[in-house]
Amino acid sequence: GTIFHVAGATGITAITVAGERRIITLIFDSTPTITDGSNLKMAGNFITTADDTLTLAWDGTNAYEQGRSAN
């Protein structure tokens, strides 16, 4: 898939996506903090709330932020 619901509130510091060259969107159902660093190449940390989204481009190694939405 390319759209994933994130249900937990535990902070996220890295991700792994099957395959290469994918665009994924995370939809948050809770309030995790997504931390810039490790393999997450972002414009800073993202403290989420329910219904926020984060879109990332995955190159097989790193996830690059394409956009975020605080809803």
Q: What is the pLDDT of residue 41?
A: 98
Task: Report pLDDT digits (tens) over 25-35.
Answer: 999 999 999 99
Distance from C-alpha of 68 to C-alpha of 47, rounded to nearest angstrom: 11
The DSSP output letter for 38 is T
Question: With pLDDT > 90 as the criterion, what percentage of the chain qualifies?
Answer: 96
Q: What single-letter amino acid sits at 11?
A: G
Distance from C-alpha of 39 to C-alpha of 63, rounded to nearest angstrom: 6
54: nearest Cα among 10, 9, 1, 2 = 2
The DSSP output letter for 59 is -
12: nearest Cα among 22, 4, 20 = 4
